[in-house]
Structure 1
């Protein structure tokens, strides 16, 4: 007997059932010292908001460690899960409350710039797309991943400082398309 793989399908109408949860956007609890909001929108190729997308984030804690059994540095001392999930609203907007991530060593032992890994799920996508959020007011000069992106496109990976944190918009296609990575 030969089994065939299930064909890929775009994200369907049941994406929102069971995936989001009430505290999904809160990587840290409200009121955590040093917490910042990362807010933004998800837009299609025509610049229209995508009201049924999902943003997932994964990041290091402020000391550069991960709340994961494989991280030899151990569990963070603060309440910090490192993972966030937020569906977009009717205007395509999302929000994540977190702490700025620390510097994580790369494979060569050098430090990666502070960043947050982001997965985007949306209608019309067969697979998630993956990008990174870097911060415009942090030192990004020595990050090998960011340096691998053509200079004229790096700004699509930079979150802009605003009143209560940062703004990071995701453009799925077209002018100003966000840089996505193959993982």
Structure 2
């Protein structure tokens, strides 16, 4: 968080932190079933666990892109969709400008929503609403964020009490969006 710190160091440590966030999100949202794993040793099997159903992620653009590296390190074959939600300068309300979601997303057992910072919760509320409109069950959504404002968390959990939220830092409500600027360099 040191503004004088090297950008490459920030990216390296932020990616490591995102891996921990995604692993915690996996604990919160993934389901497993028993399966037999064939080992390289002839005629030897291991009683293990396999994902019970499809797991996918939805990135809230543009900031959510900085969480993708950590996601792919934990779940390399995770299918990823995109939502572009921007705040209207006239009304101050979030507006959906673009979305690209898997056609069978309603059948996925767990859907991660990735956004590095949440202040008021407006974009998060809209993202969850879009997923619900596409048939995703509320209890299958896990919102993953690095920083969240107290008011935004209360709004999100008040409107959608069945979703799970994995957050690294809870901050004041007026925290500026700086993570994506620092990570993406613009």
Higher helix share: 2
Q: Which is higher, the Rg of structure 1 or of structure 2?
A: 2
Is TM (by shorter chain) over 0.5? no
Higher strand share: 2
Relative CO higher for 1 or 2, CA cutoff 8 Å, sep ≥ 6? 1
TM-score, normalization: structure 2?
0.29
TM-score, normalization: structure 1?
0.29
